[in-house]
A and B are shown apart, each in its own frame.
Chain A
């Protein structure tokens, strides 16, 4: 179902902290990030969220979260089990109504806002062949 207003954006976020963050806090930040993406997309004019999904691989663990509904409810399979000082996640935003550049901005802003107290946050655009690394501090 590709329509003229369909746009997708996939990115890898690497978030670093100065100390280990408890698992429940990381989980809350991840879910806040996913829910925030949906709300920000809707606020910016998305007419239909197709699927916003992310994947965090932490050794043997896997956390896959997903938002499809316009109430921005997050469904997760798996959760953080141990404190971590780094989070590496892939996010894929598929929606109708906004352009890719809007999605790039929303993912960056929402990442900065949701993963509080981070010391580093980099975002790699996975949709382009020549990777651009955006360092956000």
Chain B
């Protein structure tokens, strides 16, 4: 079972991206996919939305899997691995999560061996200037853990914004892929899925 962590700041478009691409992932790979969704609030809104749109979801509300919910997260991964035996588990952490801490938590996983764990970080193109100003250090830390970065809401900004963002991100992650995407008009979603599944 491989694991893909789709992380990014609050409101960066994680749930929408997953809703718009998980079907493509399944179609292109034939893989059985399971979802783990972690919402910060006591009632998990994102997981409920995904379930309404037909995805089977294991919710972890009431905290963050990068810290307080770490043991529950490991239990959940093991249960999914053993009971449902998916080929791929997609993890959507809360928008305040530190992906490095999730990867560190997975270092304590004692279930059957996992395959590849990869991390996709979403960066909101609309709020990029605000986020750089208000959250530069944690945002950079989040980007450091990325295997791939998506510049989301690309349909709502101009080319120069995307170029600035790409330069900023490349300065942090080097040559790893940086893809502008839009879940609204579908821009580059196929490119993202192709990169993700190695097609």
Structural contact, A55 and B45, CB atoms closer than 8 A:
yes
> Is A35 on the interface with B (CB-CB < 8 A)?
no
Given A1-B96, A94-B95: A64 in contact with B49 (beta carbons within 8 A): yes
In the complex, chain A residues whose CB is within 8 Å of the CB of B139: 1
Distance (Å) between the CB of B123 and the closest chain A CB?
A: 13
* Chain A, interface residues (CB within 8 Å), range: 20 to 34
Distance (Å) between the CB of B147 and the closest chain A CB?
A: 20
Q: Which residue of B lies closest to A8 (CB)?
A: B40
Complex Cα distance, B5 from A52, in Å, reads 23
- Of the candidates B11, B135, B138, which one forms a contact with A68 in the assembled complex, judged by CB atoms under 8 Å apart? B11
In the complex, chain A residues whose CB is within 8 Å of the CB of B48: 55, 57, 62
Given A50-B9, A50-B96, A68-B124: A126 in contact with B43 (beta carbons within 8 A): yes
Q: Which of B23-31, B111-119, B126-134, B172-180 is the interface stretch? A: B126-134
> Is B41 on the interface with A (CB-CB < 8 A)?
yes
> Is B42 on the interface with A (CB-CB < 8 A)?
yes
In the complex, chain A residues whose CB is within 8 Å of the CB of B108: none
Given A10-B42, A92-B41: A1 in contact with B126 (beta carbons within 8 A): no
Distance (Å) between the CB of B62 and the closest chain A CB?
A: 9
Structural contact, A55 and B49, CB atoms closer than 8 A:
yes
| A32-61 contacts to B (CB < 8 Å) | 47-51, 53-55, 57
- As a 0/1 sequence over residues 58 to 90 of chain A, the CB contacts with chain B under 8 angstroms (1 = contact) are 000010101011100000010000000000001
Distance (Å) between the CB of B104 and the closest chain A CB?
A: 16
Q: A1-B135, A50-B11, A51-B95 are in contact. List 11 more A-B contacts (CB 8 A).
A: A1-B142, A3-B138, A12-B43, A47-B134, A50-B95, A50-B96, A53-B45, A55-B48, A70-B127, A77-B16, A94-B40
A-B contact pairs, 17 of them (CB 8 A): A1-B138, A3-B138, A6-B96, A8-B40, A10-B42, A47-B134, A48-B135, A55-B43, A62-B52, A64-B49, A68-B10, A68-B126, A70-B127, A70-B130, A92-B39, A127-B41, A127-B42
